[in-house]
A and B are shown apart, each in its own frame.
Chain A
């Protein structure tokens, strides 16, 4: 019985089909909102699903100079990472399917798998656009990853646990956004960097390097990378909403808070000019990590004072 439930958790809910459909729906919200802000009509509601279906039925071209095993395997790993991470995250406002001590760190590293695979996929082909794109993807990974991780560890420090389930119990009803505004800012912008949304879309800047690391991908591989990205969008939004927006205790709360964040992200995207990769790195190491370290210092001082007051 338990085995069947586990398989259901992976294939249907919270991971698997539900997560992917949820991601595609959120992609539509993002695209539609961005389009409206840019004075365009935007796609119809089923467009993201139609895109994926179409990609899946298309021929997949294997580049002559690439390692074919890696070429086929990388998209699968890329989509497996976020799907696994979803098992430890309160998707749809329900408690995580699995939980153990320190699962927060595991989930965050599983999320990085997609970016890593994208970089490797770009480096695997001989296309010069892919190679430049791969370099940029990995450079950007090193830029935002540490601040983003630190920003999500802020609430964990306050909660005194690195287990998502326990942090959820702690933050329920407490909007850490108010007490840790710097951490929230870094987390939300880090999420944009992770998802390569404008202004952090230098790795796939179409006017320079066409589609960046994924230039050589078509059909199935392209679709899987895309699905991995939308799954990551949902998990990222869920994590930020859980940690900083007072938790996601019910499906309704989950919907309101994640969609609210998503609309904010779309607004950000519409406002920004693409940053060059050197500017992205500069921004993260000069300001992003500094902000989050300041946040940590404040936390440390408050914790110290509280500990002093209690003793």
Chain B
């Protein structure tokens, strides 16, 4: 079934009519269906039976009453199942029986909104620290940050029962394999991994909550700082969404420049990942070479935007800078350099026997698994699942300057290397076309200070896959809710399910294979005790311990 047929109200109504309380289409590509909580599971299984879309995100909303939004995407179409809930004792059924990857979204819903999800497999904290007090839900409107004090008494989850004889190798939160904090525990039998568990949230900064108390313009700068690698793509998703809400379209030249920076950022991000992945495999020479080459794109970005990391290219209604003919010349030179290098690297990852020993047929994920686990981006495309927002739902200037889709079918680590490198070749081709036909005209357009009430969903293709923003305005100069669903969150599930049965030595490679970005993902620090009780220490206790230790020395 193609998207248009399904966006035909008749078909969707026929599909969901038995349970729909009301159907609306707030935007041309979106359909909202209001359901009762008890009908949710049947409605979703009907959708799955009809092979309609994948679960992209679950958003919680707090207003007059609570509301849970289940976003399903297919191509450009977004179907949202809305379940209104009372503020007192809100309960929804779990979707994990049908869609296993829903577990992380449901965990987030539980800890952030205090909505009970019945029968969900994991009930612990996902992003919040383990000593977060019960009955305090940060994304509820009545939340007051000043009252939160951790009690410091709960333990982090572990893949095995306490007292078991299994041998657990911890990776993180601080570990040479991880450039950002996350905590993995792998139970091993000799060198073979038998179980794995992950604890995220070490870099959680409460940015979603913080956006609600800043103006639309201030949020632009805040969201840019969600991630240090893909900073531009976050603001791009945000400005496109807000412009859609305000009914404003940025001028074509601005859209083209946005795409230009986004694709250069993809170069920077993929080369960074390539180096890190080579380092995880113990091939440091490749690591050094890729990072040297990456300097070229960093210099281009610095020359264009004035910044090497947070480019600050986007404005609401346009972009901040123009591209001069000299800069175009410089970018083209850079692209020529990269074309040669990428060809060389493709040759290395597909022919170097030693490297292939570590990548070929390792971590194989079939297309069916990738669908089930809800993978996005290069990770899904390496398994033959065509998910690329740039192609399925072109945004900014991607309708004028399309990119060629890159798909591999083998689904192993080698395919993930090949897909990412070939993507850079496709980007290079596209950028040449864009630079040759850069539209003339204004860079900005007028933007109202207050945004009309409404909701929108903005999807873009970050270097790591689909990035989804849900933005709600209530007509004020600040947003009512901004929900960020990063690609790492949905891709992380694939690591844990692929880990079992592999060797411990493959774990860093598998982790690197999804190109995890924890600062994107986590948006509090807890320390595991060195004592026997394995509890979490609060900062004050840790400080006291240090003082006592030196006093008694």
Interfacial residues, chain A to chain B (CB-CB below 8 A): 37-40, 128-129, 131-132, 135, 198-199, 201-202, 205-210, 270-279
Contact = CB atoms under 8 A, between A and B. Distances in A.
B169 A278 contact: no
Contact of B281 (A37, A128, A135, A273): A273
Contact of B282 (A131, A210, A273): A273
Contact of B504 (A132, A199, A272): A132
A206 B191 contact: no
Contacts of B355: 273
A37 B281 CA distance: 18
B328 interface: no
Q: Which of A132, A207, A270, A274: most chain B Cβ within 10 A?
A: A207
A8 to B, nearest CB: 41
> Which 6 pairs of residues, A with B, have the shortest CB-CB distance?
A274-B282, A207-B177, A273-B283, A38-B288, A207-B508, A276-B505
A128 B285 contact: no
Given A207-B282, A271-B354, A276-B191, 8 more contacts: A38-B288, A207-B176, A209-B504, A271-B285, A274-B282, A275-B354, A276-B358, A278-B191
A147 B8 CA distance: 72
6 contacts: A39-B292, A132-B169, A208-B505, A271-B354, A276-B357, A276-B506
Given A208-B508, A272-B354, A201 B191 contact: no
Contacts of A128: 167-170
A274 to B, nearest CB: 2
Given A39-B288, A209-B169, A210-B175, A277 B282 contact: no
Contacts of A39: 288-289, 292
B169 A198 contact: no
A222 B460 CA distance: 50
For the residues of A in contact with B, the DSSP-based class is: helix
A37 B170 CA distance: 33
Contacts of A270: 285
A276 B503 contact: yes
A279 B504 contact: no
Contacts of A273: 278, 281-283, 352, 354-355, 357-358
Q: Which of B169, B188, B190, B285: most chain A Cβ within 10 A?
A: B285
A37 B286 CA distance: 11
B288 A278 contact: no
A274 B279 CA distance: 9
A207 B169 contact: no
B229 to A, nearest CB: 19
B104 interface: no
A201 B288 contact: no
A274 B283 contact: yes
B191 A207 contact: no
Interface string B496-508: 0000000111111
A199 B278 CA distance: 13
A101 to B, nearest CB: 42
B399 interface: no
Interface range, B side: 20 to 34
Contacts of A278: 191, 503
B282 A198 contact: yes
B541 interface: no
Interface string B501-519: 0011111100000000000
Interface string B253-280: 0000000000000000000000000111
A278 B284 CA distance: 21
Nearest to A37: B285
A182 B504 CA distance: 33
B285 A208 contact: no
A273 B282 CA distance: 5
A131 B169 CA distance: 10
A208 B508 CA distance: 6
A201 to B, nearest CB: 7
A276 B188 CA distance: 15
Nearest to A276: B505
B148 to A, nearest CB: 34
Contacts of B503: 276, 278
A274 B176 CA distance: 16
Contacts of B279: 207
Interface in B216-233: none
Contacts of B292: 39
Contacts of B505: 202, 205, 208, 276-277
Contacts of B506: 276
A205 B288 contact: no
Contacts of A208: 169, 171, 177, 504-505, 507-508
Contact of A279 (B283, B288, B357): B357
A132 B508 CA distance: 15
B282 A201 contact: yes
A131 to B, nearest CB: 8
B147 to A, nearest CB: 39
B374 to A, nearest CB: 27
Given A202-B505, A207-B280, A273-B283, A40 B169 contact: no
Contacts of B284: 38, 198
Nearest to A274: B282
B283 A40 contact: no
Interface string B342-368: 000000000010110110000000000
A270 B283 CA distance: 8
B38 to A, nearest CB: 47
Contacts of A271: 285, 354
A208 B282 CA distance: 10
A36 to B, nearest CB: 11
Given A202-B505, A271-B285, A274-B282, A210 B176 contact: yes
B551 to A, nearest CB: 18
Contacts of B352: 273
A277 B168 CA distance: 19
Contacts of B357: 273, 275-276, 279
Q: Which of B504, B506, B507, B508: most chain A Cβ within 10 A?
A: B504
Contact of B176 (A37, A132, A206, A276): A206
Contacts of B177: 206-208
A199 B505 CA distance: 13
A273 B170 CA distance: 24
Contacts of A40: 288
A210 B170 CA distance: 11
B472 to A, nearest CB: 42
Contacts of A210: 175-176
A272 B289 CA distance: 14
A199 B354 contact: yes
A278 B357 CA distance: 11
Nearest to B191: A277
A211 B195 CA distance: 23
Contacts of B285: 37-38, 270-271
A131 B93 CA distance: 44
A306 B281 CA distance: 49
Given A129-B169, A210-B176, A272 B191 contact: no
A142 to B, nearest CB: 15
Contacts of A272: 283, 354
Nearest to B283: A273
A279 B355 CA distance: 12
B249 to A, nearest CB: 45
Interface in B159-199: 167-171, 175-177, 188, 190-191
